[in-house]
Amino acid sequence: MRLRRGTSAAQALSLVVSIGKGNLFYFPPTGRAETPQPSAGPHRKMDERTQRILMVAMELAERDGYDAVRLRDLAEQAGVALATVYRRFSCKEDILAAALDLQVSQMLEMMRDAEVPGGSGEARLQWFFRAATDALAARPKLSAAMLRTVASGVPELAERVTRYHGRMIELILGVYRGHFKPEHPTEAERMLAVLLQDVWFGALVGWTGGMHPHETVIETVDTATRLLIAGIEVTHFPTESPR
C-alpha cells in the first residue's frame, strides 16, 4: 500500500490493522486516514489460507496467550486441515515468528510515505518507541507471545528472526532520518539502530516478565536514545558502514 503524501505516521501505523483485529502493531489513529486497500506488499505474496492461519494465531495469542496457540485448535478455527498448517509451518513458534515478520513488514511499507512527527532524529525516535510500546502494552498477551517466540532460540526460526531484526533496523533508521530513501547507513547510524533495538527488546522482556510497567520501557529507551545520539556527536565514526 502506498499512502498519499502528507499522511501522518500515526495514520500510517493505524492502517496496519488491515491484516486483522489481532494485529500487534495497531496504533489508534489521530486523524482521518484513508481506507485500507489491497497492498502489493509482502502479505499479497501469501495465499489466503496462510493469511488465515496467521490471523487466527494472533487472535488466539491475544485472547489467551502463548500456550493457547495449539495447532489443532488453530487449524479448526482457520478452517484448514492440520496437514495444511504443517505444510506451511514447522511449529507454533514458526507461525508466530511469521506473523511478527509480516506485521513489521507491513508497518515498514506503510511508514515509507508517512510524515514522522519531530524536528530531530532524537524526537522522532522517542515518538516512535513511545507509540510502539503503547501499542504493545494494549495487547499484552499477544506481545508476550511474540517476544517469547523471538527469544526462543529455536534453530528453525533463525531465518525469520534475522529478517525481523533487519526490518526493525531499517524501520528505526528511517524514523531517525525522517525518510525511508534507500541510502546506505553510516557506521554510527547502524550502531544506533542495532543498540536501540537491543535496549528496547530487553526492556520489553522485563515488562512481559512483570519486572516493571511499560512506562519504564519508554523511559529506558528515551534515555538510551538521548545518550547514544549524544555519544555519536562526540565520537569519530567512519563516514560509511562497511558493505
Span 50-85, pLDDT tens digits: 999 999 999 999 999 999 999 999 999 999 999 999
Span 154-208, pLDDT tens digits: 888 888 889 999 999 999 999 999 988 888 889 999 999 999 999 999 999 999 9
215-231 b/e with 16+ CB inside 10 Å = b?
A: eebbebbeebbeebbee
Q: How far is residue 242's CA from residue 46's CA, in Å, rounded to a whole number?
A: 34
Domains defined along the chain, listed by start? 9-234 (1.10.357.10)
Q: How far is residue 134's CA from residue 232's CA, in Å, rounded to a whole number?
A: 27
